[in-house]
Each structure stands twice: as C-alpha cells, then as structure tokens.
Amino acid sequence: MRSISPLKLKPSITRSRHLLLPFSFLLLFLLLLLYTVYNSLTSKTASLAYATSSPTLFLSLSTSANASISHDLRSLTLRPHVAGTPGAASTTSFVLSRLRSQGLPTFSRQYSPLLSFPSHSSLSLHHSNGSLIAPLSLSEPADPNAILLPPYHAYSPSGKTLAPAVYANLGREQDFQTLDGLGVRVNGCVVLVRKGGGYRGGVVARAAERGAKAVLIAGGSDGGVERGTVILGGPGDPLTPGWGAIGSVIQGSDVERLQVAAEEVRRRFPTIPSMPVAAVTAAEILRTLGGPPLPHKWKEGLVESEGGVGPGPALVNFTYSEEKRVAEIQDIFGMIRGREEPDRYIILGNHRDAWTYGAVDPHSGTATLLEIARRFGVMLQSGWRPRRTIILCSWDAEEFGMIGSTEWVEENLDNLHSKAVAYLNVDCAVQGVGFNAATTPQLDKLLIDITKKVKDPDVEGKTVYDTWLSANGGISIERLSRADSDFTGFLHHAGIPSLDMYYGNVEFAGYHTALDSFHWMETQGDPLFHRHLAIAEIWGLLAIRLADDVILPFDYQSYASQLEEHVHALRDFVDEKLSLESIHAAIKDLHSAANYAFTEGQKLELQHSSGDYATLRIRAMNDRLMLAERSFLQEEGLDGRHWFRHLLYSPPEDYESKLTFFTSIADAISRSKRYKESKKRFAICHQIWLVARAIRRASQVLRGEELFGG
C-alpha cells in the first residue's frame, strides 16, 4: 500500500507553485492521461476476475471435490508418520508437492525440538513373594503386525516399578477422593485408570502428587491403545521456551537450548512413568485386585467388573525406558500474497504429524486444506488475488505438544503481533456427525453467516446452519481455553483472534490408535466425504471474507455479550462479598466502544473507493479491529506460567477447573484454596481488577482517536 504519498506530496507542490505553474498543467494533463489508460486497463482485468464474487467462485469449484479429498486422504494415510521419524518425510513431500502443483508459492521452516520416543518397556504380574504370575502384553491388539510405533506416552520418564496396583477409575480428583473415602492410599502403588479423565498428563500428575509409582491408562474395548503426550505446563519445545528451536540438527543448529536437567525443563515432564495399555491387559490386572469392592459407578465401561480396587495383593512389574532426542521437524507453508495489503495475514493451519495413520487426526484436516489450496489455485489462475495475504500452514510435531506451530509463533512473534488478522485451525476435520466450532467471540457472527452459505453434508436441501440450529441446544460456540491444538500459540501466547472447528459430536473411538485409518473414514467416518467438503467450504469462505472484506468482519458486540455471560457465570465461583462491578462497568464500556467502531466501520465502507485518504482511514480502522484482541494479553504472562498471556482464554492451571474463561481469576481461585480468608480475597480481587483493565484497554483500542476527542 502506497497511500502515504499524496499526504507528503501536497506541501511540496504548494511550495513550488509559483515556479512551476506551466509545468504543473502539463504534468496534470499527463497524469490524467495516464490515469485514464490505467483505469481502463485495471477495470478490464477486474471485471474478468470479479465477474463472479470470490465466495461464489470458490463454492462453484465443488465438482468431484469429495473424490479429490478422498484421494488425498488415502495417499496421506498409507504409512505411519510420527514426527521426527523417517516415516514423516514422505508425508512432508506429498503436502509440499500438492501445494506447489496448485501454483502456490511454498516455503518450509525447520526446527529441532526435544522429542521423546519409547526405547524399551515391559509389564508383568507377580505373586506377593515376587514369583511370576504372567507376563502382560504392552502391544496394541488392533495392530497385530506391529507396523506402528508401539503405544507410549511422549515425555514419560524412564522407570522401574514392582508394586501393588490400585484402580482409580478415571483418575480425576473426585476418583482419588473416593479412594480416600474407602481408606485406600495410592502411595507407593501402580495406579490403573480408564481413559476419559481429561488430559492424560493431568491424570499422571494427580497420581504422582499422591505418591504413586507409575500410571497405566487403559484404552477402549475395541483393541485400540491410545498414544499421546503427557507434557506439562504448556506447549512447545521444552528446551527453547519462548523462542524458536530454529535450524537443523544435521547441519548443526545454532540456537540457545536449556539443559534437560534444568529445573525449568524438568517441570515440563511428569515425575513418574506412565503407559497406555489395552483394555484386555487392564482386565488381567483388575482380576487380581482385592481390597474394598469396586464402587458401583466405577464398573461401567470395564471388561471385568468383579473384584476390588486394590491395592494388590498381586504385584505389577512395570519398566519403561524413554529416549529423549533432539529431532528435526518441518513446518510447510503455501502463500497467496495479498494485492492491496500483503502485510496483513489470514492464517489457516492444520498439523501433519500423526501417532498412527492419521485418517481422522490430522489428515481429515490436511485433505481439507489441500482442497482449499486446489480451489485457490484455480481462482488465482482466473485472476483473483485477495486484498490481504492468506497463508496455508501444515504444522509438524503437534502430537508432542503443538511444537511446530508454537516454535513458528515464538520465532515470528513481533511480526504476527502487528500483522496477523486471524488464525483458523482445523485439526480432526471429521470424526463423525454434527458441526462443532470454537472461536474468540468477535468471529461468531462471520462463522454463523458462512454456515448459511454451505450445504449440509447429511441432510438434503439444508445448510450447515439449519442443521446446527436444530441440533441439541441450538447453535452453541465453544471458547478456546483448551490447549489441545495448534491455535494455542496464536491465541494464548500471541492474542490473535482464532477459530477451531470439526465434524463429530463425540470423540471417535479410534483416537490415537491403529484404528485411525482410511478404512475407518471410508466405511464409517465420512463415506461420501461430504463432511470434509463442508469443512473445506466453511474454512475457505472464512479465509476469503477475512482476506477480502474492506472492513474486517469482526464483531466486538458479540465479544461484549459473551463477556457479560461469563461475568454472570463467575458469580457462582467467587464469594458474594467480592464485587464484580469493575468488570461489569468495563464490559458496558466495551459494548459502547464496539457500537462506535461498528458504526464508523460502516461509514468508512461506503467511502471505500473515494481515494487514498479513505484507504488510509480504512486501514487504521482495521488495525483497531485486529489489535483489540491483543489487549487481553498480559505482557509478563499469567502468574507462574509466563508463556500463557491471554487473561480471558488461556487454559486454567488446574486441568479440572470448571471455570474455563477469565483464566487468571480461575487460577487465583484454585490457588487461594490454601490461603487465609483475607489473603484469598485480596488475591482474587487483584485478578478481577486486572481483567477489568484488560477489557478497558480493548475498548480504547476500538475507539481509536475518538478517545482524544475525535
């Protein structure tokens, strides 16, 4: 954008007028001529490109798109490809070549984070005198030929344990309290749980806090064993917290790395080993347990439901050795450079690494991203260029803790801070039936509008919106306080408006197991690939609107309304004597600032083609809309967890917190349980003020110059 020049030009013309009057007429004539020629040329190309609007053009390219998605998904899922292993290379080159073949400029970025792999493990059952009862299998029944990397927990430490087992249901806080009530201590024991108690790293941490020696997490009854990371304290490479682990191991990367033994690094790993096990293996252990009988509610979902919770009397012999390795990973990008504002980014991302074949997780998303690239490729050829830049990202090492995306965000933080408009994430695009979305609230309205334009994949003649509206509970949009996919760095660290979406109301049974295969997708997940198609169209249209709209389609009125709901809900979590008035007042102010910005945006939109000065003012307006989200960041990060900086929507420190917004307040509430009354009130009160001030900052940003009297 070069709209600054006329402002600079004006005074110099005025100054030299008396000298250059005759020349000026000539110049003016020439300029006019040039302008006419230029105009006729550009309007011609413009009329070619925009004969149909870009959303319409995008939607019109759906012929046999489902076949193309299905074809890509099959290719992506031929082999296992865990990050940092040799299998990853072919998926990387597949995605790169598909992006290139659509005519998109591509680039890739290498990082070398610390990853974690299994090197040896064993499990057996013993009599209390130590003699062997039976060896137990740690392999995955659904992977009989052991084609995959064996099931394990990334970043579980090595360890050897011979100890009695205790069954702790799902391993939630309430389950350990139930055991307390039964007089059963897990101290010194191997804790056995069923999956479903929230983040697996959290389950392990709770058991470790109570002195357990190791944790075994049992999978579903379908023969699958759920792999996954147990990293603690946030995403990203443990050795380069806050900066990018740039470079290649092979070529020798020059980057500061913390020592693995450093306290800051050790805090990221559980203190006790853990392992996922098959349901049949868990049943063999359960069968040997004595002690108090299983509580009635704990029996559901168990293969074997007689017997006790333990501990013992039989002993479990569990050994695990981990190999930590600095390994190479690669993020891949496809770029569509914006015509008017190349330095404003709409970022679409999905990860590429998978624990197994990854048909759902993540390649339902990858195949969808490639479909968008295909359509954008066609549109580029027909002359389309978006107003702003669109970047398609394929992240590596998400499964280890969102490492590829986090390193990239950390490396580019300042640029993203001033230039990133929005981050649109899709991880598992399809894991079943039913549309689901989570956003920062200024994106709600845009998302809803777009679902009205996309055909429902399952009901003939309906839109995604129609079905979503008639679903249980109507339209509900989640918020993004979880830290379970690649939006984490963008939102929680960089404060960039973000969105995440998928099809599938319930977690699919094959999650992170050998059952996550093309076969499942083709026979059960999405046989006609129409759900993939719906996600591709919603995702692509979101990108087009964000990239092309003159005024950014951000709605801060819905942000204010959402915050109002939050503050009402917060009332149930804090002492009634604590005033929430400061937040109420700040939200009221945000409402009025949002109204003001909206009205101003509408006016500016009408002046859209009235010259460079209007262009500048539109740009300034859009910057306010883009930057308002950054106001919710706290520069120095949350107390004790500096990487997380979003005061409203970071993940709470307590994995089981019921309060999933106003994170700094949620943290203060859970920490202050240990405090005396007066200190407790002060700690929570302080966080309430911090949140109120952050909301005020957002209003100021939205108001722009009106703040100083117009």
Smallest Cα–Cα separation from 700: which of 638, 647, 627? 627
Shortest Cβ 325–ligand NAG spacing (Å) = 23
Q: Which residues pair with 163 in a beta bridge?
A: 316
Residue 175 phi/psi, 5-degree rounding, is: -70, -40
Q: Is 458 exposed, middle or buried (0-12, 13-18, 19+ CB in 10 A)?
A: middle
SS3 content of the chain, % helix, strand, coil (to 5): 45, 15, 40
> Would you give the end-to-end CA distance of the chain in angstroms?
25
User: Which residue lies nearer to ligand NAG by CB, 70 or 394?
Assistant: 70
Catalytic member of 398, 399, 629, 653: 398
CA–CA separation, 388 and 612 (whole Å): 17
User: Which residue lies nearer to ligand NAG by CB, 72 or 600?
Assistant: 72
Shortest Cβ 134–ligand NAG spacing (Å) = 12
Supply 204's token pair.
Answer: 């392990």
Helix axes 5-15, 612-627, angle to 10 degrees: 140
Shortest Cβ 118–ligand NAG spacing (Å) = 14
Shortest Cβ 129–ligand NAG spacing (Å) = 4
Residue 593, CB-side half-sphere exposure with 13 Å CA sphere: 26
User: Which residue lies nearer to ligand NAG by CB, 122 or 187?
Assistant: 122
Residue numbers of the site for ligand NAG (CB under 6 A)?
66-67, 70, 122, 126-127, 129-131, 162, 317, 319, 528-529
Sign of the dihedral defined by the CA atoms of residues 75, 78, 82, 87, in that order: negative
Shortest Cβ 68–ligand NAG spacing (Å) = 9
User: Which residue lies nearer to ligand NAG by CB, 125 or 480?
Assistant: 125
Shortest Cβ 64–ligand NAG spacing (Å) = 7
Query: What is residue 332's three-state secondary structure?
Result: strand
Q: Which CA distances in Å does 202 have to 106, 576, 629?
A: 38, 30, 29
User: Which residue lies nearer to ligand NAG by CB, 468 or 529?
Assistant: 529
Q: Which CA distances in Å does 234 have to 66, 147, 410, 492?
A: 36, 31, 13, 10
Shortest Cβ 122–ligand NAG spacing (Å) = 4
User: Which residue lies nearer to ligand NAG by CB, 46 or 67?
Assistant: 67
Is 209 a residue of the active site?
Answer: no
User: Which residue lies nearer to ligand NAG by CB, 121 or 240?
Assistant: 121
CA–CA separation, 14 and 260 (whole Å): 66
CA–CA separation, 311 and 314 (whole Å): 8
Q: Is 484 exposed, middle or buried (0-12, 13-18, 19+ CB in 10 A)?
A: middle
Q: Which CA distances in Å does 183 have to 173, 180, 291?
A: 15, 5, 10
Residue 223 phi/psi, 5-degree rounding, is: 90, -5
User: Which residue lies nearer to ligand NAG by CB, 530 or 671?
Assistant: 530
Shortest Cβ 245–ligand NAG spacing (Å) = 34
Place of tokens 């280890």: 400
Q: Which residues are catalytic?
A: 398
